């Protein structure tokens, strides 16, 4: 096999059901494409037979490479593991293993790459998902964009074609709480969007638990925005200003009108409100401390259990 120009990287977690169709579509794509393509499939500690299927495939077809992680490390780290091992000399095509990102779009992405774009990211025109999830995503991306210091494009996930030089930078970023779409934007170079309609899953349920999804959202907010910290100091300043004004009013009342200072309810309200604000502020600092804590341990991001990689052309 020739040295691949393009690596397709897909993380899989319990995707046994959609696996045969994924392989069928990827193989058809490789057979029909004039490009030389390799596929790196990462098993993220699946509990079903995904890992075994990947191993079997990689042993029989040398265009496929298997990377099996020691346990479930999460989508972002599985992708990171795949990206570190992909050898495509021109670019990496990052897709989901559940076929929500049609691999057949590779030629369209590649064309934009050839026109000089280092990153071609997919922009979802329509989602075939429940309204709750859709609304959540819609609001989150807009909120993140408004508070982020990085220009993170709206409605785009990890589905993208990324040039070799950008991948090299990504591979060198040791960030622990990874939010790859943010890191990708942060790197810069010429980036452009490609609109597509996101398909529904071909089989099974979403493998992202609500906790994982919230974690990803948190990583986006805390790693790509200074807003939470700024929010604390701003709230502090506003509180001080309000209390000063209130103090002046009370003094004037006392001096010129000798009125009795009013009540208990407002006092209680203010105490409760600012206890809440203080706890929130502590929690926000905690988020940053936690991230520093984990980063400073310097643990490897993920652990690979087994690799089935065809080394013929190295
Ligand atoms: N995935 C993974 N590890 C996980 C969760 C998900 O590797 O802990 C994979 C999953 O198999 C799929 C991709 O990441 O190929 C996207 O996950 P999913 O389809 O569940 O997310 P959704 O599309 O619902 O956001
Ligand atoms: Mg999916």
Q: Which atom of ligand 1 is nearest to the CA of 212?
A: 8
| Consecutive H or E run containing 66 | strand 64-69
Same domain, 61 and 165: yes
Mean pLDDT of 281-289: 87
Question: How many Å lie between the centroid of ligand 2 and the Cα of residue 199?
Answer: 9
**Domain contains 221:** no
**Domain contains 210:** no
Handedness of CA 290, 294, 165, 307 (dihedral sign): negative
According to DSSP, the β-strands at 64-69 and 304-308 are: antiparallel
Same domain, 49 and 153: yes
Which tokens belong to 195? 């609109």
Asked if pLDDT for residue 114 goes beyond 90, the answer is yes
Atom 22 of ligand 1: nearest residue by CA position? 206
Question: How far is it, in rounded angstroms, from Cα 20 to Cα 43?
Answer: 15
Counting ligand 1 atoms within 8 A of each CB, the residue from 8, 9, 10, 13 with the most, and so the one to mutate, is 13
Question: How far is it, in rounded angstroms, from Cα 137 to Cα 125?
Answer: 13
What range defines the domain where residue 161 resides?
6-205+301-313
According to DSSP, the β-strands at 37-43 and 64-69 are: parallel
Same domain, 243 and 201: no
Q: What mean pLDDT value characterizes the chain?
A: 89
pLDDT given for residue 314 in this prediction = 47
Establish whether residue 38 lines the binding site of ligand 1, counting it when its CB lies within 6 angstroms of any ligand atom: no
pLDDT given for residue 119 in this prediction = 96
- Identify the DSSP state of 199: P
**Domain contains 172:** yes
Establish whether residue 36 lines the binding site of ligand 1, counting it when its CB lies within 6 angstroms of any ligand atom: no
Residue-wise pLDDT tens digits, 136-189: 888 888 888 888 888 888 888 899 999 999 999 999 999 998 999 999 999 999
Number of domains in the chain: 2
- Identify the DSSP state of 260: P
Is the separation of the CB atoms in 32 and 106 below 8 Å? no
Handedness of CA 240, 241, 244, 246 (dihedral sign): negative
CA atoms within 13 A on the CB side of 146: 5
Handedness of CA 279, 148, 301, 64 (dihedral sign): positive
């Amino acid at each position: 096999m020739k040295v691949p120009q393009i690596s397709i990287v897909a993380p899989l977690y319990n995707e046994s059901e959609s696996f045969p169709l994924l392989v069928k579509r990827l193989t058809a794509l490789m057979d029909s494409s004039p490009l030389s393509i390799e596929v790196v499939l990462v098993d993220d500690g699946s509990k079903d037979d995904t890992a075994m299927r990947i191993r079997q495939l990689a042993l029989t077809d040398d265009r496929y490479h298997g990377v099996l992680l020691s346990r479930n490390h999460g989508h972002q780290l599985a992708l990171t593991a795949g990206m570190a091992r992909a050898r495509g000399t021109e670019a990496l095509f990052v897709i989901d293993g559940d076929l929500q990102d049609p691999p057949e779009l590779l030629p369209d992405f590649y064309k934009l790459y050839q026109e000089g774009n280092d990153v071609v990211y997919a922009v979802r025109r329509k989602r075939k998902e429940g309204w709750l999830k859709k609304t959540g995503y819609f609001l989150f991306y807009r909120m993140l964009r408004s508070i982020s210091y990085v220009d993170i494009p709206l409605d785009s996930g990890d589905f993208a074609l990324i040039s070799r030089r950008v991948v090299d930078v990504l591979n060198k970023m040791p960030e622990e709480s990874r939010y790859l779409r943010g890191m990708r934007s942060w790197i810069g170079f010429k980036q452009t969007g490609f609109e597509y309609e996101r398909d529904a899953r071909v089989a099974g349920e979403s493998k992202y638990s609500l906790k994982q999804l919230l974690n990803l959202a948190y990583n986006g907010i805390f790693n790509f925005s200074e807003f939470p910290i700024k929010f604390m100091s701003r709230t502090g300043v506003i509180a001080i200003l309000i209390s000063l004004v209130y103090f002046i009013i009370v003094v004037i009342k006392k001096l010129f009108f000798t009125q009795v200072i009013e009540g208990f309810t407002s006092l209680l309200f203010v105490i409760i409100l600012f206890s809440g604000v203080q706890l929130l502020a502590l929690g926000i600092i905690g988020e940053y401390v936690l991230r520093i804590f984990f980063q400073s341990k310097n643990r490897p991001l993920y652990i690979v259990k087994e690799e089935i990689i065809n080394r013929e052309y190295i």
